[in-house]
Structure 1
Amino acid sequence: MNKIIPTIEAIEKLSLTEKVGQLFMPAAFINDTEEEIQQLEKLISEHHVGGLCFFHSRASAATNFEGKKKVVINENSFDTLKNLIKRYQNAATYPLLISIDAEWGLAMRIENTPQYPYAITLGANADNEVLAFEVGKQIAKDCKAAGIHWNLSPVVDININPNNPVIGYRSFGDDKKNVVNMATAFVKGTQSEGVLTSIKHFPGHGDTATDSHLGLPVIEKSKEELIENELYPFQKLIDEGVDSVMVGHLSVPALTKSPSLPSSINKDIITGILRTEMGFDGVVISDALNMHAVSKHYPIKGELEWLAFDAGNDVLCFAEHTEEGIQHILRNATETQINKSIERIWQLKEKASLKEDSTLKLTDPSSLNRKIAENSLTLHHGTSADIAAFKTTNFCTLTIKRFGTDQTKQDILDNILEMKKEVEQETEILLLLTPPQIKPTNNFGFFDAEIDFINELIASKNVILYHFGNPYALKFFSTEKTTATVIAYQNFKEFQDVATEHFLGTLEAKGKLPFSIEKSL
């Protein structure tokens, strides 16, 4: 890999066309074909793109949105990732800045790599920023082992809307101060390993009921309300010192004279609010420009990329029309405008110390995950005494969890009928519940018959419920009618072990639910 030259030298040495190429960060995919890999190598070498953002595959959720394309499982994803990064770096005249979304670890994008708990689980660790720092640090180590310089996280959106389809479990919660504390610790942990971060999704994606992958969310709040809430974490972290801010695709009328123009391509919001009013002079990166909130409205190739740059973005993430975008920017931008962005980008590259270290290995998340499990376990309803009394009964244990992806709907419905028969004569039930999916689409994957069955159990039996997964799914269940409800947040073995110890009475539930559950009954 070529050595990074100093910023001053880069501004003097690079041609204007090379500089504009540096603004672009197209997507790279772990599971691309050899032909697709060579196409990207050609794009890198011919157009001097500045960086890459890695995704799992062209069929994964981040690229296919709510599509139904089959996602290929690659047992050797991590080695594939490392090899691809080397190939792409070799194709580049100037070292590439490699990024990835690793909010809960490389496992967010790459299978068979370490997975740490979701932000919501960290948010349940009341006042325990030490663990958030350690998570940031461990994930940063994994990024370095792969050859990744820039973790596009953490999410600092305050998840005010319980029906948020895209943030939810990715947020530290609905309390702005807890969000700031946890996010600051995560950032500092990441920085301690020399890895870059990006706080997102400016100006705040927490109070929306629309997924910006699919449409444009609208936030109808006054500027005063936004400063008090949505903008609060961004301002606090900017004041602490952050590497970059990612701008989301949102309509926020109170912050602009052009409310129909999404925040990601809105000069009033990026240059006006973020840069001028909030004083941020670091790198601004757009949210993925392939997302339907913006991409479907700009069919002319390159136009969206120009608008994003002109609005104040330095890095154009997931730009799908690099060649055309370069031409649009060369025709319309001033050299001063281009040089300012190049100066920011190059300083970020220098800070990232773009060098390879093949001796680094992936972390083992078990010990840290165990600590987080112990500190996040939450007694949501009932008391320890209720659970102790329940244990003296002749209870039966019922596990509701999808054990295989090959189950048909009929298989699942037949299983419910079997369970109904099994528990017909029972009066006390220990219910271990894992939602089929982490995302809220289609009722977190639950069929109506499953929701009805669980609520019938709660209404007619003495139920102790242990919930392993996104706690927002509890809105479908009458938890207030259970004998006790305990939230474990994740279905990792460490969280299952901690839940077992809690039930046995050898471990106390210390966590606190970091948001309010709104019922859907």
Structure 2
Amino acid sequence: MFYLHHIPAPAVLRWVGHMVLAVLLLLLLSCEGADTQQKSIGEPTADYVPERTPYVRAASLVEALEEKDSFWVDSVFNALTPDERIAQLIIIEAFSDKGAKYEADVMRLIKQYKVGGLIYFQGGPMQQAKLTNKYQAASKVPLFISMDAETGVGMRLDSTVHYPFQQMLGAVADNGLIYSMGAQVAEEFKRLGMHINFSPVADINNNPKNPIISYRAFGEDKLDVTAKSLAFMRGMQDNGIIAVAKHFPGHGDTDVDSHHDLPIIPFSRERLDSVELYPFQELIKHGVGGIMVAHMHIPQLDATQNLPSTLSPPIVKGLLKNDLEFKGLVFTDAMVMKGVTKYFETGEAEAKALIAGNDILERLANVPKAIKAIKQAVANGELSQQELDRKCKRVLKAKQWLGLDKYKPIDLNNLYEDLNPSVADSTNRALAEAAITLLKNEKRALPLRLKRRAKVATVGFGLKNPSAYQRLIQEEINTTDFVISRKANKKEAAALSKKLEKYDIVIVALYGPSIRPSSKLGYSKQATALVTKLAKSNKAIITLFDNAYTLDQFPGIEKSRALVMAYQPHYHAQEAAAKLLFGRIPARGKLPVTVNGHFAYGDGISKGVPLIAAP
């Protein structure tokens, strides 16, 4: 037996001191260990490097999606239920002009189901901004805010800038102007608290009878379409907005509108590789953030009967993700379109779209049905929970890349002024002047040279009052202005024809039914016959302010003394046409599509300098 009194007193004191020190040290370490363990379960410690590393924004969305999960992504993801993780993959429609009842329904989907985002359609900028602030404040996770704005927010909202449609841009040689337009659209989006633009249209419109793409495409040449799609995409993405190229794998060569039916694309993979897929391949190489998959049946890629490409694993996973190595976000086209709903029930279609490889479901008919069907697909083993979780985290990574981890409400002050900057007006003018296309100029009819006492008339077809084009012409020369309806009857057409006989020059402006270009102008037989008569009169200078394909609706228009394509009826196009008429600007535009045997891709009498009239 060992006794302390056998040890000298000084040694005993030293031994006791060491023992006390050791016990205190053990207690301290024990407390620190318990504290560390507690913090790792709840709030991580400051020196927990993987979770506390400051977020560094990647140069591109695609890079951000490939990075490891961040602290913000993990914390948000862990706070979501399985149903809410599915809902993050859903973007619902929103309008800002449908009133309180509609807005309450949108709010219910945000609060009850925790949907991931909104796609805005028609309305006004102030009301949309107010609603966005309201919806974001109510959302558990900050919302994606998106828009289908191929021509800027003016395509959907009043009191905002409307840039040209793609066909008009297709006539422009300087793609730097298209980049500038993309950059300005991005600024408009950011000012309205939006993040995703479902644009550019990367379809190659090589079918004049296409009822849905047509003037929405840059043209029929794959190199032109690619270069202009890249310019627009870069303009947006360099300025912080996700561009979504559409409609994969190419909706240009069809005569069926997928809004109303399921188009069938009969082409082989070799044909698709050489034409339709080319723009998408190049956009992927250059970092496009998103791609929208169209509702089309392509038997050569997936022979499953009546299966839209959106629901096809061989097309989404196989072609887009594996073969083309697309690493960005894959969006479906609107899930309310007949191209998908004709053969698949609501819910079933959404589940199949995720199984096929899409990341985000856009514009659903019924959110709870979709969530229920997707959960059933997981239960059936058709879709794994791990895959759903991975998609959810990719959505959260995209939201953090967009800055939604530090969300701020939209400032409503000076909103209208900020959405209508002077630079937008300058860009629209430059685009219109670069696009104006001179297709005929017999005996140097342009620039206009008037003989003494020459009598000049202007005629606006499709108008009730003289147009801006007619007013601009009258500022330069004395004219008598006439207007006539597109639906003119025999008596009205004959009366105007009689009046025009006494004029030496007749300046004709052809307009469609809308500010948007049209597939069908809707001219009566009598109105069309009058256009043909004027074209053959050897005194008509005709300008079409609409879709280039509609030239084919005027037999004999190729016989015009001068023929100009202005593509759209907005003010800057009318101003450019007037300037060309008097030699103030050069003719630089080239026809981006083939219309018929008279008007082919690339046509356009080009002058490097303004067609200045001789004194």
TM-score normalized by structure 2?
Answer: 0.76
Is this contact kept in 2: 1:475–1:519, CA < 8 A? no
Is this contact kept in 2: 1:100–1:152, CA < 8 A? yes
Structure-2 residue corresponding to 1:315: 360
Structure-2 residue corresponding to 1:66: none
Match of 2:458 among 382, 397, 401: 397
Match of 1:370 among 422, 429, 433: 429
Shift of 1:227: 0.4
Shift of 1:259: 5.2
Shift of 1:198: 0.2
Q: What letter is aligned with 1:399?
A: G
Q: What letter is aligned with 1:366?
A: D
1:100 aligns with 2:135: no
Q: What letter is aligned with 2:445?
A: D
Matches for 1:491-506 after TM superposition, within 5 Å = 491-506=569-584
| Distance of 2:370 and 2:181 partners within structure 1 | 37
Is this contact kept in 1: 2:535–2:558, CA < 8 A? no
Cα separation, partners in 2 of 1:446 and 1:350, compared to 1, 3 Å: farther
Cα separation, partners in 2 of 1:447 and 1:390, compared to 1, 3 Å: farther
| Distance of 1:113 and 1:251 partners within structure 2 | 37
| Distance of 1:345 and 1:386 partners within structure 2 | 58
Is this contact kept in 2: 1:198–1:245, CA < 8 A? yes
Cα separation, partners in 2 of 1:308 and 1:457, compared to 1, 3 Å: same
Match of 1:254 among 295, 300, 306: 300
Structure-1 residue corresponding to 2:264: 218
Shift of 1:19: 0.5
Is this contact kept in 1: 2:487–2:523, CA < 8 A? no
Query: Matched residues, percent identical?
Result: 33
Shift of 1:388: 4.1
Q: What letter is aligned with 1:490?
A: Q
Q: Secondary structure at the match of 2:536?
A: helix
1:351 aligns with 2:401: yes
Shift of 1:90: 1.6
Is this contact kept in 1: 2:447–2:580, CA < 8 A? no
Q: What letter is aligned with 1:106?
A: V
Shift of 1:519: 6.4
Q: What letter is aligned with 1:450?
A: A
Q: Secondary structure at the match of 2:445?
A: helix
Shift of 1:403: 3.7
| Distance of 1:373 and 1:19 partners within structure 2 | 46
Q: What letter is aligned with 1:85?
A: T
1:174 aligns with 2:220: yes
Cα RMSD for the two superposed structures: 2.3
Segment drifting more, 7-16 vs 34-43: 7-16
| Distance of 2:491 and 2:95 partners within structure 1 | 39
Structure-2 residue corresponding to 1:70: none
Shift of 1:189: 0.7
**Greater C-alpha Rg:** 2
1:385 aligns with 2:444: yes
1:43 aligns with 2:98: no
1:286 aligns with 2:332: yes
Structure-2 residue corresponding to 1:19: 85
Q: What letter is aligned with 2:395?
A: I
Is this contact kept in 1: 2:189–2:195, CA < 8 A? yes
Q: Secondary structure at the match of 1:444?
A: coil
Matches for 1:395-474 after TM superposition, within 5 Å = 395-403=456-464, 415-426=492-503, 428-437=505-514, 438-441=516-519, 443-474=520-551
Q: What letter is aligned with 2:207?
A: N
Is this contact kept in 2: 1:158–1:176, CA < 8 A? yes
| Distance of 1:448 and 1:30 partners within structure 2 | 40
Shift of 1:473: 1.2
Gaps of 5+ in 1: 57-73
| Distance of 1:410 and 1:495 partners within structure 2 | 24
| Distance of 2:569 and 2:486 partners within structure 1 | 22
| Distance of 1:403 and 1:40 partners within structure 2 | 40
Is this contact kept in 1: 2:89–2:359, CA < 8 A? yes
Post-superposition Cα deviations, 1:196-254, rounded to whole Å, max 9, x if no partner, equal: 11000000000111111111111111110100000000000001001110001111122
Is this contact kept in 1: 2:517–2:568, CA < 8 A? no
Shift of 1:471: 1.5
Structure-2 residue corresponding to 1:111: 158
Q: How many positions carry a matched residue from both structures?
A: 495
Is this contact kept in 1: 2:121–2:147, CA < 8 A? yes
Q: What letter is aligned with 1:87?
A: K
Cα separation, partners in 2 of 1:489 and 1:440, compared to 1, 3 Å: closer
Q: Secondary structure at the match of 2:438?
A: strand
Cα separation, partners in 2 of 1:411 and 1:481, compared to 1, 3 Å: closer
Shift of 1:410: 6.6
Q: What letter is aligned with 1:16?
A: P
| Distance of 1:485 and 1:96 partners within structure 2 | 49
Post-superposition Cα deviations, 1:85-122, rounded to whole Å, max 9, x if no partner, equal: 11111221000001001100112111221101111111
Q: What letter is aligned with 1:499?
A: A
Post-superposition Cα deviations, 1:495-515, rounded to whole Å, max 9, x if no partner, equal: 222211211122211111111
Is this contact kept in 1: 2:462–2:486, CA < 8 A? no
Cα separation, partners in 2 of 1:54 and 1:519, compared to 1, 3 Å: farther
Segment drifting more, 347-356 vs 330-339: 347-356
Is this contact kept in 2: 1:475–1:517, CA < 8 A? yes
Is this contact kept in 1: 2:504–2:539, CA < 8 A? yes
1:487 aligns with 2:565: yes
Cα separation, partners in 2 of 1:167 and 1:410, compared to 1, 3 Å: closer
Is this contact kept in 1: 2:171–2:590, CA < 8 A? yes
Shift of 1:479: 3.0
1:34 aligns with 2:100: yes
Is this contact kept in 1: 2:461–2:485, CA < 8 A? no
| Distance of 2:167 and 2:201 partners within structure 1 | 10
Post-superposition Cα deviations, 1:41-69, rounded to whole Å, max 9, x if no partner, equal: 1111111100011112xxxxxxxxxxxxx
Shift of 1:418: 3.5
Matches for 1:48-67 after TM superposition, within 5 Å = 48-56=114-122
Match of 1:6 among 72, 81, 94: 72
Cα separation, partners in 2 of 1:403 and 1:82, compared to 1, 3 Å: farther
Structure-2 residue corresponding to 1:65: none
Post-superposition Cα deviations, 1:400-453, rounded to whole Å, max 9, x if no partner, equal: 13348xx99877766434322321344532212222244545x22323332222
Post-superposition Cα deviations, 1:293-315, rounded to whole Å, max 9, x if no partner, equal: 1113234x411111111111111
| Distance of 2:533 and 2:485 partners within structure 1 | 23
Cα separation, partners in 2 of 1:237 and 1:496, compared to 1, 3 Å: same
Shift of 1:460: 3.5
Is this contact kept in 2: 1:52–1:99, CA < 8 A? yes
Q: What letter is aligned with 1:491?
A: P
Shift of 1:493: 1.9
Gaps of 5+ in 2: 1-69, 378-382, 466-483, 600-615
